[in-house]
Amino acid sequence: MNRSSLARHQEPAPDSDRRAANVVSFANGLPGFEACRGFVLLAAEHGGLQYLTSVEGPSASFLVVDPRRVQPGYRCQLSDADRHALRVADDETLLWLSLVTVETDGTVAVNLRAPIVINPAQMLGQQVIPYESLYPLRHVLLKG
Amino acid sequence: MLVFTRRRHDAIVIGDGIEVRVLRIGRDGVRLGVVAPIHVPVHRSEIYAQICEANRRAANGATDSTVLAEILKPQ
């Protein structure tokens, strides 16, 4: 992938162009990145992992992993507001992703508390903040 | 900042369709009920701040996928 080619503060593209470019719309951005309203998923170099990369608004890129690969049996309840925001119908398959942090000392941690949920049928996404969660914000996979 | 004195069961209304009501006043805390339209996100501010901070750390960290791929490799 070539992240250097992504210009900073790009303007939103028209809807038809966004679909063609596989841009997932985040109506509220992400907490801390509220101006990032469009993201694409890019394949990472290794392990079937992906990058969630901003293509509208400020540049930002996150290494992401399906939380079920990290925590078998992972489950998280969507609220009515989440389902409304993602326009979830009953039978849709949703994509669940957790943000990975690789800290300066080499510690690798995964955010299981607030997953990114994407509805591929609508190309809508948002970071879900469950009212109650069984999982930590910083689930350490490897100590640096 | 607007400052109000409210008693138990009193509420304030914000804009169109947002209501914050005092449900219970305890020694250590006040229990609030919030009614808001479904498209208005409502979060406890310290949780939202923690997630902002965690997201910034994730974006600023190394982005090499090698280490994570190694950890997740089937044994």
Residue A39's pLDDT is 97
pLDDT tens digit string along A76-123?
989 989 999 999 987 678 999 999 999 889 899 999 999 999 999 999
Q: Which residues of A touch B48 (CB under 8 A)?
A: 31, 129
Mind giving me the DSSP string for A43-70? E-SSTT-EEEEEEEBS--EEEEE-HHHH
Residue A132's pLDDT is 83
Residue given tokens 């996404």 in the structure block: A125
> Over chain A, what is the mean pLDDT?
87
Query: For residue A84, what is the DSSP state?
Result: H
Query: For residue A91, what is the DSSP state?
Result: T
- Those of residues 8-27 in B touching chain A at CB distance below 8 A are none
B58: closest CA of chain A, how far (Å): 4
pLDDT tens digit string along B4-22?
999 999 999 999 999 999 9
Longest dimension (CA), chain B: 61
Give the type of residue at B60: N
Q: What residues in chain B have per-residue pLDDT under 50?
A: none
User: Is B38's CB within 8 Å of A80's CB?
Assistant: yes
Longest dimension (CA), chain A: 44
pTM exceeds 0.90, yes or no? no
